Amino acid sequence: MTDLTPTFKEMLTIFDEDNRKNGGIQKTMVSKAVDTTVKKYELKDSFVKECYELLDFMRELRKVLNSIKADYYNENDLNMTEAQKDDFDTEFRLQFQKYVQKFKSLEKYETDRQALIEKTIMNPHGKVMNVFKGNNSNQNILIEFHKSNDRFRTGVLQSLTLFIATISSEFASMQQRRLTQQRKFEMFDLNDNLGLNDSPMMSHEQLATPPSIPTNQGQTDVTVEEPLSITVSHSAVESVQQEVKQYEETMSKLSQEQIQLLETEHEELLNEKNEQLKAVEKINKTILDIVSIQNELSTHLQSQSQDINTMLDNQDEIDINIKKGNTQLKKAKKSASRTANMTKYLAILIGILILLIDFIN
């Protein structure tokens, strides 16, 4: 019997080569088909690119904000003066406002695009015709692609909103801390200016007369230290004495009526000064009340900002739930319309059959 193994091996090699060729052709065909489908569904806009650029700009802005915090909180004005801090605040607000406007334009573009796709692709027009046509696979693939793309783009916008909210909250906290520091500093200055120097002044007689030292007469050997010599400038003493002499001379020249007039004028001036002091005290109290009210307002604003942030988060969740509910309602409407159409057509067919049976009988 002849050995057929070499011929069998040759046949196997031929089959392997054919399979490889056919498999390579199929793979190339599949890859080409995938490329064509992917290119068909690609969106030719720069939305994602602009979002990434905006995110990079916001990151750089946050880096600048974090790098300047130490100098911004410093009260010594060594690295940053108050004028430089004010300039930084204005420049930061302007730049941040530009980025917010850019984000709003991107958000508006995306909402308009999603609304257009919702009208043209997501919602079919002819419901009765779709019942007879059935489900088209390409149409379903296109709808699923747009749904996933919309979810991705809304996620990008939500991440940008969170990043913008964090930057704005950090900048607001920095400004709030700076305002509190300024208020404390102003309150300290106000208290120092309104305080009175209550340091007691020694009279000339107290300075001139030395203190009396008690001595015991019964003791013979008593060592008494010499009194301290207090030097007082004679020019000041002489000037005071001259002023006293001039005052006495002028008072001796004046009559009693003039003296009474002067006393009344002095009393009026004292009353006016006392009233002014009372008014200053009232102003001080009102200023302190205003400062306390401002502190209360700042705390309320902080709590309101936190409430607003929570409301925004809840609003985003509500929007997502509403979208899910709308999709479920649309599916329910489609299924209900299909069942209604099917029951209607079945009733018509059954009626026609009954009429035919009656006509035949």
pLDDT digits (tens, 9 = 90+) for 90-106: 888 888 889 999 999 99
Question: Are 81 and 90 within 8 A, CB to CB?
Answer: no
Fold of the domain spanning 42-125+134-189+261-360: Methane Monooxygenase Hydroxylase; Chain G, domain 1 (1.20.58)
| Residue length of the chain | 361
Return the pLDDT at 73: 80
CA 157 – CA 106 distance, rounded (Å) = 8
Return the pLDDT at 77: 64
CA 131 – CA 78 distance, rounded (Å) = 78
Return the pLDDT at 203: 42
Residue 272 has pLDDT above 50, yes or no: yes
pLDDT digits (tens, 9 = 90+) for 166-175: 988 888 888 8
Q: What percent of the chain has pLDDT over 70?
A: 73
Residues 6 or more apart whose Cβ sits within 8 Å of residue 287: 190
Return the pLDDT at 22: 65
Question: Are 228 and 222 within 8 A, CB to CB?
Answer: no
Question: Are 46 and 106 within 8 A, CB to CB?
Answer: no
Return the pLDDT at 56: 92
Q: Which of 106, 6, 7, 105 is nearest to 51 (CA)?
A: 106
Return the pLDDT at 207: 41
- CB neighbourhood size of 106 (10 A): 19
pTM: 0.42
In terms of pLDDT, which residue wins out, 250 or 290? 290
CA 266 – CA 283 distance, rounded (Å) = 25
In the chain, where the domains are located: 42-125+134-189+261-360
Backbone angles phi, psi at 180, to 5 degrees: -65, -40
pLDDT digits (tens, 9 = 90+) for 47-68: 888 999 999 999 999 998 888 8
DSSP string, 286-334: HHHHHHHHHHHHHHHHHHHHHHHHHHHHHHHHHHHHHHHHHHHHHHHHH
Residue with tokens 């002095």: 266
pLDDT digits (tens, 9 = 90+) for 319-359: 888 888 888 888 888 888 888 888 988 999 998 988 888 88
Q: What percent of the chain has pLDDT over 90?
A: 6
Q: Return the minimum-mean-pLDDT range out of 25-39, 201-215, 279-293.
A: 201-215
CA 81 – CA 75 distance, rounded (Å) = 9
Residue 297 has pLDDT above 60, yes or no: yes
Residue 318 has pLDDT above 50, yes or no: yes
Phi-psi region at 3: left, alpha or beta (left = phi > 0; alpha = psi -120 to 50): beta
Over residues 230-237, the mean pLDDT reads 52
Return the pLDDT at 217: 41
In terms of pLDDT, which residue wins out, 167 or 121? 167
Q: Return the minimum-mean-pLDDT range out of 113-122, 163-172, 182-191, 242-251.
A: 182-191
Q: Return the minimum-mean-pLDDT range out of 38-52, 55-69, 264-278.
A: 38-52
Return the pLDDT at 83: 83
Return the pLDDT at 25: 58
Return the pLDDT at 266: 82
In terms of pLDDT, which residue wins out, 79 or 27? 79
pLDDT digits (tens, 9 = 90+) for 1-17: 566 677 767 777 776 77
Return the pLDDT at 282: 87
Q: Return the minimum-mean-pLDDT range out of 34-38, 205-209, 350-354.
A: 205-209
Return the pLDDT at 138: 72
